[in-house]
Amino acid sequence: MIRLLEIEAIKLWNNRSSKILIISYFFLLTSIALIAAIKFDIGPIEFHLADQGIFNFPYIWHFNTYFTAWFKLFLAIVIVSMMSNEYSNKTIKQNLIDGLSKKEFVLSKFLTVIVFALISTVFVFVVSLILGLVFSDYNEIGIIFSDLEYLIAFFVKLLGFFSFCLFLGILVKRSAFALGFLVLWQAFEGLFYGLLLWQTNKSVANAVHQFLPLEAMSSLIKEPATRMGAVKSVANQLGEEFNKDYGVHFFEIIIVLAWTAVFVYASYWLLKKRDL
Amino acid sequence: MFLVELTEPNNTLCTLSTILTINNLTKKFGPLTAVKDLSFTIEKGNVYGILGPNGSGKSTTLGIVLNVVNKTSGEFYWFDGTVSTHEALKKVGAIIERPNFYPYMTAEQNLKLVCKIKEVPTSKIWEKLELVGLLDRKDDKFRTYSLGMKQRLAIASALLNDPEILILDEPTNGLDPQGIHQIRELIKEIASRGTTILLASHLLDEVEKVCSHVVILRKGEKLYSGRVDEMIASHGYFQLSSSKQEALLSLLQDHPAFNRIVQNNGMITAFLNEPMEASELNKMIFEKGLVLSHLVKRKESLEEQFLTLTNNQ
């Protein structure tokens, strides 16, 4: 396993564009802390985002995992190209001839994806913990370490998404087309949902839609904005009330993990079936 | 020449170990049959050539045994058949078609990666780069290399594990004469160290210069496999001339050892149908009172043999 990761590390780390993208990704993950610096001071209106309660434990776990998950697109580029470059350079052929089995090949990519997701999660955990300790109004241990399921959801979300990218890289073999396909797929899920709404009713549409891969990944962590104290009070004044379930659900995690397994096995199956 | 001489064909079975066995291998690409019911074995210590025109199934056959092309039917196994193909490939060095490396990595980094894949120590990288004459370019990126250098790097890479067998598919394709010469010298050098080599080529003289055994393919079918010098049942031919050409001609025509005699440009060519040495013939002719001004014994070149073989079938 270490050998497979080392193989992938050599390939990735010596590629300048991959290296730059990986470094900027982790830089951006850290940059979420910069939100704390957002401060408006226009005459009578004084607004300091960090004071609005977004860094309160345990809400911070929800807030940070939701927003940092957007940066995953950076790594998506790295992952799609690390797969499709093997095809365009024909190095996949040479790897197999040199004695890597097809299983090991897919496994080395998947292990890399796991490592990426894991490091991201640890990063977000550490950054959020520090931010929270500085700005949070509540500092009891019990509160700090509650709602940690958002981190698990974050990990699973990245894992599922990166596995999808991996699969697209193998399926399409060209990085630009694979990323295009990703966008196309997102549009397809939206269209499919619209079609279901039109043909059936909302509950059926929602029930089916939640099983589609990208929707399953995105609904793992619900948007946290309407949960914010400030937003809530504004909404209350307008006579609007949010009654939403913001929790992470076990079956949603299972759906994404199932997709992850499908993508990895489908990648292996494609590789096995194809002549290179 | 560096041909690795074999013991007599009769006792080869007990002295050699088998590296690759192919039985009834077939590969279909849709309606096209690229390899048809192919069987042969590769023994340790020989230099093999797979010969055939473009599209005869050479690369497909190599692709199958190297785990990159899926077979349609038949079987093959490496060594004694007890290890999986990808494990066996760690003891094989192979280059097929173009050299494939990571363009953004240097030669040394690329070879380090190969070492990791083959699970061999990285200590031999410099030695192999030295062998192919690329040591001074080890820190240059692969994409800056010329085709000849890329091909030599591929050979260095294939040798990293001191392989049991080196497989080369059209190694001189697309190279300039100097590059071709360098690669051939390298192959001879490697063969002289006792490494088994399997060389696929459509260039007859290349195979003739390098190989002791040959497998000839046409349209995916095997026409011949065996020693180069036993390719067709031929005992060679004599070229002779004498001041008394007519007497010589009638003498040869009466002799049972010759099946065909051709005369042109004042030279008689007599084809043997049984073994005979030049000295034996010379003695016999001299005893009949004739003196030869020219006597040469020749074997058909591989090209002539190849054409005979492919035309016959």
Flag whether pLDDT at A122 surpasses 90: yes
Nearest to A246 by CA among A214, A229, A210, A221: A221
Which of residues 13 through 32 in chain B touch A, CB cutoff 8 A? 29
Q: How far is A260 from chain B, CA to nearest CA, in Å?
A: 26
Q: How far is A257 from chain B, CA to nearest CA, in Å?
A: 29
Q: Residue range A67-83: average pLDDT?
A: 90
Q: Does A273 touch chain B (CB under 8 A)?
A: yes
Q: Residue range B214-239: average pLDDT?
A: 81
Asked if B63's CB is within 8 angstroms of A275's CB, the reply is yes
Q: How far is A102 from chain B, CA to nearest CA, in Å?
A: 9
Give the pLDDT of residue A222: 86
Cβ-nearest to A97 among B94, B112, B116: B94
Which of residues 62 through 121 in chain A touch B, CB cutoff 8 A? 89-91, 93-102, 104
Q: Residue range A90-103: average pLDDT?
A: 93
| CB contacts, 8 Å: B70 with chain A | 272-273, 275
pLDDT digits (tens, 9 = 90+) for B184-209: 888 888 888 888 999 988 777 777 77
What SS3 state is found at B139?
A: coil
Q: Does B100 touch chain A (CB under 8 A)?
A: yes
Cβ-nearest to A91 among B29, B88, B100: B100
Q: How far is B116 from chain A, CA to nearest CA, in Å?
A: 6
Which of residues 28 through 67 in chain B touch A, CB cutoff 8 A? 29, 63, 66-67
ipTM of the complex, rounded to two decimals: 0.85
Flag whether pLDDT at B1 surpasses 60: no
| CB contacts, 8 Å: A104 with chain B | 86
Four-CA torsion A20, A24, A26, A31, nearest 10 degrees: 170
| Cis-peptide, bond into residue B103, ω within 30° of zero | no
What SS3 state is found at A150?
A: helix
| CB contacts, 8 Å: A93 with chain B | 68, 96, 100
Cβ-nearest to A10 among B100, B113, B119: B113
Where along chain A do its domains lie? 2-273
Q: Does A15 touch chain B (CB under 8 A)?
A: yes
Cβ-nearest to A14 among B70, B89, B104: B104
Asked if A100's CB is within 8 angstroms of B86's CB, the reply is yes
**Number of CB atoms found within 10 A of residue B229's CB:** 14
Q: Which residue has the higher pLDDT, B8 or B84?
A: B84
A66-to-A63, A128, A132, A246, A270 alpha-carbon distances in Å: 5, 12, 16, 11, 33
Which residue in chain A has the smallest CA separation from B88? A99
Q: Does A6 touch chain B (CB under 8 A)?
A: yes
Interface test with A, best of B68, B140, B155 (most A CBs within 10 A): B68
Asked if B86's CB is within 8 angstroms of A99's CB, the reply is yes
Whole-prediction pTM value?
Answer: 0.84
Which residues are within 8 A (CB) of A222 and not within 5 positions of it... i.e. 6 or more apart?
A66, A244, A245, A246
Q: Does B296 touch chain A (CB under 8 A)?
A: no
Which residues are within 8 A (CB) of B168 and not within 5 positions of it... i.e. 6 or more apart?
B94, B95, B155, B158, B187, B197, B198, B199, B200
B161 secondary structure, DSSP code:
T
pLDDT digits (tens, 9 = 90+) for B79-123: 988 889 999 999 999 988 788 999 999 999 999 999 999 999 999
Flag whether pLDDT at B6 surpasses 70: no
pLDDT digits (tens, 9 = 90+) for A132-150: 888 888 888 888 888 889 9
Q: Kindly tell me the sign of the dihedral angle through the C-alpha atoms of B295, B297, B303, B304.
A: positive
Give the pLDDT of residue B275: 83
The alpha carbon of A261 is separated from its chain's Cα centroid by a whole number of angstroms, namely: 16
For chain A, helix, strand, coil in percent to 5 are 75, 5, 20
Cβ-nearest to A99 among B63, B109, B117: B117
Q: How far is A189 from chain B, CA to nearest CA, in Å?
A: 35
Q: Does A276 touch chain B (CB under 8 A)?
A: yes
Which residues are within 8 A (CB) of B75 and not within 5 positions of it... i.e. 6 or more apart?
B22, B23, B24, B25
pLDDT digits (tens, 9 = 90+) for A249-265: 899 999 999 999 999 99
**Number of CB atoms found within 10 A of residue A102's CB:** 22
Give the pLDDT of residue B14: 41
Q: In the predicted model, what is the mean pLDDT of chain B?
A: 85
| B7 band by pLDDT with thresholds 50, 70 and 90 | very low
| B180 band by pLDDT with thresholds 50, 70 and 90 | confident
Buried b (16+ CB within 10 A) or exposed e, B140-168: ebbeebeebbbbbbbbbbbbbbebbbbbb
Which residues are within 8 A (CB) of A25 and not within 5 positions of it... i.e. 6 or more apart?
A71, A74, A75, A78, A120
Where along chain B do its domains lie? 1-91+164-177+191-231, 237-312
We find that the CATH architecture of domain B237-312 is 2-Layer Sandwich (3.30)
Interface test with A, best of B69, B96, B102 (most A CBs within 10 A): B102
Looking at domain B1-91+164-177+191-231, which of 3.40.50.300, 3.90.245.10, 3.90.1580.10, 3.30.300.180 is its CATH number?
A: 3.40.50.300
| CB contacts, 8 Å: A275 with chain B | 29, 63, 68-70
Asked if B119's CB is within 8 angstroms of A3's CB, the reply is yes
Flag whether pLDDT at B12 surpasses 50: no
Nearest to B180 by CA among B148, B150, B218: B148
Which residue in chain A has the smallest CA separation from B68? A276
Which residue in chain B has the smallest CA separation from A18? B104
